[in-house]
Chains A and B, each alone.
Chain A
Amino acid sequence: MTNEYALEMIGIAKAFPGVKALGGVDLRVRRGELHGLVGENGAGKSTLMNVLGGLVQPDAGRILVEGAEAAIAGPADAARMGVGFVHQESNLLNNLSVLENVFLAREALGHMGRLDRRAMAEEIEALNRKLGYNLKPFARVGDLSLAQQQSVEITRALIARPRILILDEPTAALGEEEVERLFRILAALTKEGVAVIYISHRLDEVVRIADRVTVLKDGCVVGTLEKREIARERLISMMVGRVLEDIYPDRRDMAPGKELLTVEKLNVRGRVHDLSFAVRAGEIVGIGGLEGQGQRDALRAVFGERAASGRIALDGVDLTRSGMATRIRAGLGYMTHDRRNEGLVLTMSLVKNASLAALFRLTGPAGIVRKRRERAEVRERIDGMQIKAASIDQMVVNLSGGNQQKVMLARWLLTRPKVLLIDEPTRGVDVGARMSVYRIIDSLTRAGIGIVMLTSDMMELLGLSDRILVFYGGRVVREYARGEATEELVIRSASGLG
């Protein structure tokens, strides 16, 4: 044996605009081992695997497969190198059949370039028998359950007989029985010599099945544990350990006022289950949890952007059946996490962006914008927030991330909200601007506004929230009061450990 490693990733670095996702990561995976990959949100797990899968091009670093240099410029290259990828979110085309999805871009061809459907169907049936699935090759993927869709993804990955198989959060949509089946499949694969990379937030699973585990934090490897060293507590302590910076306003003197927002039994199909919570005047309710546990769906449902059942009331007014325009007028706002695509109209001026949601207040009877008032109100907000811009007529595309974020905040303040839902208050924003965003949020609560803040930044969650709701699997699994929560406790709850 020339090399014990099926895969070596050496010095992989990748920066996205404003964020360093990976800073020189080394990962070595042995043949026939199940290698766990864990870390907090944003630790770089998915980016690293996307590099391996050909979906992201690294800025630096080398990849060796079976000891040989591998150039991976796209998904097709990755497949050719024997890398199979089962994605976290369904990566299938639901207008196509199971067979078409499994064999897309890798069709079995018969005589004269004709598709050999029978051969492909037989191959799927053979894998079905081996894996214990019951997939009908000609069923439409859109008609399948989430668990079945995942079986399709695994079938697609395995039909190419990969040497390296990546599974990104494979058990998120699975029931207990299906998880056990998946584990049996993985055990059989590793026995055959396939190297499996297993990303999961569920630490119990990782402890149970992994032969080795690599822990990532802030785009760097904290360490790799051998089988005998793997323990839950050890993993958690490796994942955490960031210092709580002194950039959060002191809110210990705040006493919440009357109840403003009431959410009862909110359900979003397949995403949020029986969510009930309340927000009081002057309160910051932090929402934490790992990505994709239903937090965002919950927030959007409260704002009326996603269909949901349940009851939503704001300051005594029932908004359950109202559209978003009515909710905004009633005093509800939702500030998106995706500034560039959903938030700002980048090619419009600062003043137009800021007044957009409040035009209902700033227009006269004939629907004509009261320009002078619009400009005066925007200017007042801008000055209060210290937005650095040449003028309020400047295009927002030219502003820094932090200033853009403040423009979005200004927009929602102009609607005179009672409760503001903020999705990622400081994503892609530098430290200085973060501090001023925190100060603005703090001052809003002191003016009697209630804030719901969804954040994937653990420090922000702990530092700013008066109360923390931790999501897991579409439910709030734990609520912490200020001072009660620690990073370890929150990660524990967010990982489904109580």
Chain B
Amino acid sequence: MGAKIREKFAATPQLFSVLTILALLAVTFLSMCAYSESYKHMQNISKLIVQCIPLAVVSLGQTLVVISGGIDLSLGATISLTTTIAARLMNTDSPAQIALAVLAMFAAAALVGLLNGVGVNLIRVPPLITTLCMSTVLQGVALWIMPVPGGKVNREFATFVMQKWGVLSMPLILLALAYLIIHFVLYRTRTGVPLYAIGKNPRIAASMGVKIRSVSVRAYVIAALLAALTGLLLACRMRVGDPLVGTNYTMDSITAAAIGGTSLAGGVGLISGSVLGSFLIGMLSNMMNILGVDQFYQYVLKGSLLVLAMIVYSIPGMLGVKRVAK
């Protein structure tokens, strides 16, 4: 049994980072419980979880792209864009139109992902540039649709998407669903391993028969779709659209992935790490809000966190176990 676990850890050393974040989460939680009596109430915990979920969802997508050897700087703008689409189209009582609006959000995102994938793989513009340009374009479109926060999301629909049952909630269920689907795709279908393969070395992957372009495009499309889901959650939470709401999510999703043990060089990473990384970022933000720390210090902390994660993971042996295979 012990040997089996050892083998598992040897095959995926990032499991250590998952354990580390779990420990950090526990420490944060316990110290906040000690600080504030009401912190550990079910209601607060549920609220906290719901707060962290939009970032967790978009981080799943970012992780896929980063594993595939790319990076997606347009996810934040995609989120903003989809909230503006939602707020423009969901100011209605007709369920059919709301369904159509949801469809429009995901269709727009899919198109964005496809364009990113095509730009990176067929026109061969580096991912950093492709997605940065895409981000600027999308930001422009979002501001064109809605220059200032506004519009309206149908109340019943928003309540439906945000409803809670104790510690459970609809956003949590959506995150769980997204997680399970991505997990299935990554580890149970033939799309997953090639994603890691092209992230490590596209040339070798191609020589082994992997269709590297198609795999990479898929990663960008899935990431954009997850950004649309994040946009849906945010729109329903705010009940308005906001052309700038997504801005921080690009950087935060990269940080979450990096904290979770995903190598920004590609080829290495775990989606569970990114989800936990998002929760860590969310809980730290929340903690600082409670403690009354100013917003600018929070920026400094988030930036430092990313650098710290990269430093920690760059130290050899910090992550890796000694080889077990003989």
Chain A residues with CB under 8 Å of chain B are 53, 55, 74-76, 79, 87, 91-97, 100-101, 103-107, 109, 113-115, 134, 136, 138-140, 143-144, 148, 156
Contacts and interface: CB of A to CB of B under 8 A. Distances in A.
Contacts of B148: none
B10 interface: yes
Given A96-B200, A105-B211, 17 more contacts: A75-B209, A76-B209, A79-B209, A87-B207, A93-B197, A93-B208, A93-B267, A95-B200, A101-B208, A104-B197, A109-B190, A114-B189, A115-B188, A115-B189, A136-B7, A138-B8, A143-B324
27 contacts: A53-B207, A55-B207, A75-B206, A75-B207, A75-B209, A91-B204, A92-B204, A93-B196, A94-B200, A95-B199, A95-B200, A96-B196, A100-B193, A101-B208, A104-B193, A104-B205, A104-B209, A106-B209, A107-B190, A113-B190, A115-B192, A138-B7, A139-B10, A139-B324, A139-B325, A140-B10, A143-B325
A103 B211 CA distance: 14
Contact of B204 (A93, A100, A103, A113): A93
B238 interface: no
A91 B10 contact: no
Given A79-B209, A95-B200, A104 B188 contact: no
Nearest to B268: A95
Contact of B11 (A53, A79, A109, A139): A139
List the 9 shortest-distance A-B pairs measured between CB atoms, nearest first: A139-B325, A105-B209, A143-B323, A76-B209, A95-B267, A95-B200, A107-B190, A100-B193, A93-B200
Nearest to A134: B326
Interface class of chain B by DSSP: helix
Nearest to B67: A95
B178 interface: no
A81 to B, nearest CB: 12
B201 to A, nearest CB: 6
B194 interface: yes
Contacts of A101: 208
Contacts of A113: 189-190
B107 interface: no
Contacts of B206: 75
A348 to B, nearest CB: 20
B273 to A, nearest CB: 15
B118 interface: no
Contacts of A94: 200
A93 B189 contact: no
Nearest to B265: A95
A93 B209 contact: no
B210 interface: yes
Contacts of A92: 204
A125 to B, nearest CB: 14
B74 to A, nearest CB: 26
Nearest to A141: B325
Contact of A136 (B188, B210, B325): B325
Contact of B208 (A91, A136, A148): A91
